[in-house]
């Protein structure tokens, strides 16, 4: 199937019908809808993702990758008030030169 002339909904409909017919996807790659990154999912990993998403069509239309989820978690944690940094005082050692009369 050439995806160059197909719309995204046509591609998703094709993948859903293929999954219903054969029980797997033609390729083990699922694309993140936010970042466009390709993630591999097949076997029990794919089945767990489908169950979590609520169906193959929901998975293909709303899948967000692990990297996007981690970035969201990090951004939400940055709202926590940061502790003030401790000030460190650097002490310079005096260099004594025994040969110098000063």
Average pLDDT (21-31) is: 89
Instruction: With respect to residue 22, please indicate whether it lies within any of the assigned structural domains.
Output: yes
The residue that leads in pLDDT, 101 or 43, is: 43
pTM comes to: 0.59
CA angle 55, 5, 24 (to 5 degrees): 30
Q: Is 56 a member of any domain?
A: yes
Residue 51 lies in a domain: yes
Q: Is residue 40 part of a domain?
A: yes
Which tokens is 35 given?
Answer: 């970042």
Residue 100 lies inside a defined structural domain of this protein: no
Q: What's the structural domain count of the chain? A: 1
What's the pLDDT tens digit per position in 31-89? 888 888 888 888 898 899 999 999 999 998 988 888 776 676 666 555 556 677 777 77
Please report whether residue 37 resides in a domain. yes
Domain span at residue 52 reads: 8-67
In a domain, 48, yes or no: yes
Nearest partner of 46 among 77, 15, 67, judged by Cα: 15
């Amino acid at each position: 199937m050439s995806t160059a002339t197909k719309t995204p909904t046509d591609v998703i409909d094709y993948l859903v019908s293929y999954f219903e017919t054969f029980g797997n996807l033609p390729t083990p790659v699922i694309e993140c809808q936010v970042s466009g990154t390709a993630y591999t999912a097949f076997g029990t990993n794919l089945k767990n993702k489908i169950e979590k998403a609520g169906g193959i069509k929901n998975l293909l239309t709303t899948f967000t990758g692990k990297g996007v989820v981690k970035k969201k978690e990090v951004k939400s944690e940055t709202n926590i008030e940061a502790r003030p940094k401790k000030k460190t005082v650097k002490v310079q050692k005096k260099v004594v030169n025994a040969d110098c009369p000063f």
